[in-house]
Structure formats: C-alpha cells, structure tokens
Amino acid sequence: MNKNWKLKELADKEKVSELKEQLNINEFLTNLLIQREIDNFDNAKTFFRPSLEQLHNPFLLKDMDKAIARLETAISKNEKILIYGDYDVDGTTSVALVYKFLSSFYKNIDFYIPDRYKEGYGISLQGIDYAEKNSQTLVIALDCGIKAIKQIEYANEKNIDFIICDHHTVGEKIPDAVAVIDAKRPDCEYPYKELSGCGVGFKLAQAYTEKHNLSTKNLHNLLELATISIASDIVPITGENRVLSHFGLKQIQNTKSVGLKALKKIANIKEGEPLTISDCVFKIGPRINAAGRIKSGKDAVKLLIETDTEKAEEFGKQIDEHNITRKNLDATITQEALEMIANSPELQAKKTTVLYKSNWHKGVVGIVASRLTETYYKPTIVLTESKGYLTGSARSVEGFNVYDAINSCNHLLEGFGGHKYAAGLTMKIENFEKFSEEFENAVNKTITDDQLVPNIDIDSEITLDKITPKFFSILNQFSPFGPQNMTPVFVSKNVKDTGNSRTVGSDHSHLKVEIGDKRGAYISGIGFSMGHFYNKIKLGKSFDICYTIVENEFRGKKSLQIMIKDIKFN
C-alpha cells in the first residue's frame, strides 16, 4: 500500500538557535522540542525532569469538594459504598485503583462491572438495582456516567447517591448526581483536560489524601494502574498524563502488586525490565481487556486488587485464557472478513467497508474493524447479530469523521454513539442493505482521496552521521512516547545498500538492511513485512528511507539500529 510522507515544517530558526544555546543540544533535537511546543528553558526542564509536584491541585476539578464531602459522610456513617466502572481497561483499572485506595482504610466497599452483553456500556439500571439490593447508598462511577441522565434520576428515586468521575465529552445536560467530576465540563477550569477515566479516579484519591493528610505512599502505589489506563485508552501523553506515566512505568518495572506481577509473567516481561507505553498497550492492556470481551470485566478487577500470590497467578491464567480465546476469535473473524472482501469486486470498489455475519463474536468486532481499516484503509463497520438486531463497531481513517457519517444515517439506526474515529451502532437486520448504501454515499460525498491513503508523519530529515549514542540518549529522554508525543520519525535521503542487506524470517518476508550515504556513514536496520523491497534495494540505486531509531541488544552488546517505516525509490 502506498503511503503519504508528511514532513513537518521546521521550527523558526531564531527559536531553534536560542533554545539550542540554552540546552546545549543539537538543532535536530531542539527542532523536535519546539514541534512539541517545548519552546523555552523552563518548559524543557519540566519536560525532561518530570516531578509529581507538577500534578495539579485536584480541588481545581469542578465538584471535587462535593465528592470528598459526600465520601467523608459515607465513611463517618459506615455506609456501604459501591465502586462502579466500565468493562474495558480504563474502567477496570479505575475500579481497582479506587477500591485499593479506599480499602486501605475503609472496609465497607464493593465493586461492580456491568456485563458487556446484557447491560452494555456505562451506568445500567441493573447496576443501580444491585446497589439497592445490597443497601449501598453511595456509588462512585468511574470512566462513565457523564451522559447517564435517566439512570441518575432512577438512582435518586431510590435514594442512592452517585459521584461521577468521567473523562468523556459532556452532553447538553449534566446528570443530577451529588458530584460530577469531568475536566471536559464547560464550567470546569481544571488546567488539563485529557485525563483518562482512571486518571480522574487518581485525582479523587489524591484529593482525599491531601484533605486528610494521609501518607502519599498508598497514593503513589496507584500510579501503575493510572499508567496502564493512559496507555490503553490512547489519551495524549502530555501534561499530567506524561508525569503520571513517567513514574507509573518505573513502578510497574518493580511492582509490588501480585496481580501485575502475574500479568507481567504471562506477558514475558521480566522483573526489573524497563517498560514503555507500547508494552502496556500491546502486552498488558489486551489481557485486561479480554476479560470483559470474553467473560466479565470483574475477572480483571479481581486480578488487579488481589493480595495473595497464588490466587493472583490463578486469576492471571484465567485472564490469559480469555486473551487466547480473544486472539483466536480475532484471527478467525478477520480472515473470514478479508475473504468476503477478496471475493467481492463490488466491496473492493467502494470507499467504505460494511460487513455483517450473524455468528461473529460481539466482543471482537471492534478489533476486526481496526484490522480491516489497517489493510484497506477505508472507513469500516463490522456487525454481528445480537438479540435480534445487528450491532457492531466502526473505525475510521485519519482526518475523517466517521461519527458524522453514521449520524447522517441515524434514521436507519436503533442507537449509536462514539467519536470522530470510532463508534458503536445498532440497527434492525432488515436495514443493513439500505444503511450500507447510505453510509457509502455519505462517506463518498465528504472523504478526500488523500484521506484514503495512510500518512506517515515525519519529524525531521537527518543524515546518518547524526545517529550517535549521545543523540539517542537525549532522544530517549523524550519518552514516555504516545499520542501527541510520538516516537520521532526521521527520513534520510539518497542512501544505498552497502551490499549486506538481505531478507530474513522463515518466509523471507522481513528486510534486514545495512545502508550508507555519501558521507561514509552507515547503519543497519530492520523492516518487518518489507521483504518485497529487497529486489530493488540490491540493485544499488539510491532511495529515501523513513524510520525510528532503536537500541538493539545481541549477545550482551548494544548497538543503534533503525526500525524502517517505509522506503521510496528515486
């Protein structure tokens, strides 16, 4: 698949020169900083030296004072408290975090995770009935609730109070709860708006800790859960999120949590081994998520709050089994979907992909939609049958608002929700063909040809001689990497094969290169699933290459190499 290379504009030369002088680093690194809006010495100091003192006052969050007051009342009266959260990684880590925090000094608590298939996303009436049945008079809802207007009315009728801790976009009306904490509230002046749901839960714990002068040790032990949520919920790694994840990653490295120890062991992450945001996204997060997709998110919470090593390892095995099931379903359904497209010239000719099969597993259709989007790079919807309706997930391509396209067809839907790049929807089975047609028309009217080609954002053009251990050492301090602070991507032009490049892997599908430039500098690198470039490379003609820089360790020896993202021939 062809890809557009988008080279970012160079920062202002005067700014680069000034900051370069202040920091004593080269202009390439200075340019990267300014691209990230780190444009003066103080900002750079904060960026390179994160400190927990940089965390904002939690009471700047609207309604935090009301939430703490209600929590204090519940504890003083020994009320039963229910901690409620969504079934995904952000929701389950949120519940585990607040449960672990409160249980360190208060025992009259319970937790609840809604069933993905019976109750769906967010606060459910069944969950409120559970609280009533168990005489729980205060519910702390995490990673959900900002649009639960009717549910909160239902709870109020039953004299069940809610503290809502959410991070999603606010609707036209705020639920009538005791406290609604969400930095995205228009009337909330909190200086950082991109916290994860678990991050909001952490701020609740921080506020209680500060109000009651508790030891910060318990609070800081919760950073690891906040970090897993930040990584898995794909929120920006900027501001407070960057501070939380900087320290959280270090904590996971030598975690005292027996649940996380079990997860790390299963994921083949060695104790003491440094972790990245990507490790959380691809190794830890999917296993936690699999519990809610395949069985119940409660299994994930049980693992994360467990204090007994043997029980934690048993829970870990169950979680891993869920993940294996999820991966098998994902692979099978993705293959079926790819075959459906391959056998349909009509589908291939469209600018959208909309597929449905009655027996596909509801828990993985969102993942399958993502896989198909990666393969064909079109707005994609994958549906399955549930309770007599079609239900499923949509995924988009960069720059295209799939939510708006679905909204234009909402007269054919029973319900839908989501955001620009991902959405969920439900429709009557008989509406499938009409919806597919109208969705294609809606997308066709607004999508551009450029949006149907994946982009590679390139931070800077550099020459190979600039890739030195010192350069990489400073570059590494830009981490943790993630949305809005991505691993820097570079391009080097007019490089050539030194004669040592080759294909590798059992099927020779990967490309191992050694390239050089006219300055005499050279470096090796790897390009996964890029073996098809080899025949052109070996001809000795010059080409341009874009890549990230990584450190490779082989037989105890460390060396720098490039991780290839794409190659273009001159």
The domain that holds 80 is classified in CATH as: 3.90.1640.30
- Report yes or no on 42 lying in a domain: yes
- 8 Å CB contact between 120 and 325: no
Q: Which of 452, 486, 520 finishes a domain?
A: 452
**b/e burial code for range 383-415 (CB count within 10 A of at least 16 → b):** bbbeeebbbbbbbbbeebbbbebbeebeebbee
Residue type at 403 in one-letter notation:
Y
Residue type at 425 in one-letter notation:
L
- Report yes or no on 328 lying in a domain: no
DSSP code at position 111: E
Q: What is the 3-state secondary structure (H, E, C) of 151-185?
A: HHHHHHHCCCEEEEECCCCCCCCCCCCCEEECCCC
Which tokens in the block code for residue 181?
């904490």
3-state SS, residue 271: coil
pLDDT of residue 259: 95
- 8 Å CB contact between 91 and 196: no
Same domain, 384 and 482: no
Calpha distance 111→130 (Å, rounded): 10
pLDDT of residue 237: 95
Calpha distance 394→380 (Å, rounded): 6
Q: What is the bridge-based pairing of β-strands 80-85 and 136-142?
A: parallel
Residue type at 266 in one-letter notation:
I
Same domain, 34 and 91: no
Same domain, 44 and 190: no
Mind giving me the DSSP string for 414-448? EEEEE-SSEEEEEEEGGGHHHHHHHHHHHHHHH--
**b/e burial code for range 533-561 (CB count within 10 A of at least 16 → b):** bbeebeeeeebbbbbbbeeeeeeeeeebb
- CA 91 to chain CA centroid, Å, is 13
Hunting for tokens 């959260």 — which residue is that? 85
Structure confidence by residue, pLDDT tens digits, 132-152: 999 999 999 999 999 899 999
Q: Domain span at residue 429?
A: 344-452
Which tokens in the block code for residue 255?
């975690």
Same domain, 312 and 171: yes
Q: Which of 287, 320, 353 finishes a domain?
A: 320
Same domain, 467 and 432: no
Q: How many domains does the chain have?
A: 3
Calpha distance 228→92 (Å, rounded): 10
Bond prior to 191 in cis (omega within 30° of 0)? no
* Residue stretches of the chain with pLDDT short of 50: none
Q: What are phi and psi of 183, to 5 degrees?
A: -60, -20
The radius of gyration of the chain from alpha carbons, rounded to an integer in Å, stands at 25
Q: What is the CATH number of the domain that holds 429?
A: 3.10.310.30
Which tokens in the block code for residue 295?
């069985």
Same domain, 443 and 463: no
- Report yes or no on 325 lying in a domain: no
Ranges of beta strands (E only) in 136-285 are 136-142, 161-165, 179-181
- Report yes or no on 332 lying in a domain: no
- 8 Å CB contact between 113 and 297: yes
Calpha distance 388→132 (Å, rounded): 31
Distance (Å) of CA 462 to CA 239, 409, 447, 452: 28, 47, 33, 28
Same domain, 247 and 183: yes
pLDDT of residue 556: 79
Same domain, 120 and 149: yes
- Report yes or no on 36 lying in a domain: yes
Calpha distance 441→363 (Å, rounded): 28
- Report yes or no on 334 lying in a domain: no
Q: Which of 320, 352, 377 finishes a domain?
A: 320
Polymer length of the chain: 570
Same domain, 265 and 383: no
- Report yes or no on 122 lying in a domain: yes
- 8 Å CB contact between 540 and 558: no
Residue 24 neighbours by CB distance under 10 Å: 7
3-state SS, residue 350: coil
Residue type at 144 in one-letter notation:
C
Calpha distance 408→410 (Å, rounded): 6
pLDDT of residue 179: 98
3-state SS, residue 50: coil
Which tokens in the block code for residue 341?
């497209």
pLDDT of residue 21: 92
Same domain, 448 and 465: no
pLDDT of residue 22: 93
- Report yes or no on 300 lying in a domain: yes
Q: What is the CATH number of the domain that holds 466?
A: 2.40.50.460
Axis-axis angle for helices 41-48, 13-23 (nearest 10): 60
Calpha distance 344→334 (Å, rounded): 16
Same domain, 63 and 195: yes
Same domain, 67 and 41: no
Distance (Å) of CA 450 to CA 3, 369, 381, 420, 440: 10, 21, 20, 17, 17
pLDDT of residue 38: 93
Q: What is the bridge-based pairing of β-strands 557-569 and 543-554?
A: antiparallel
Q: In 3D, which of 150, 183, 154, 153 has the Cα closest to residue 168?
A: 183
Ordered strands of the 413-418 beta sheet: 353-356, 380-386, 389-395, 422-428, 413-418
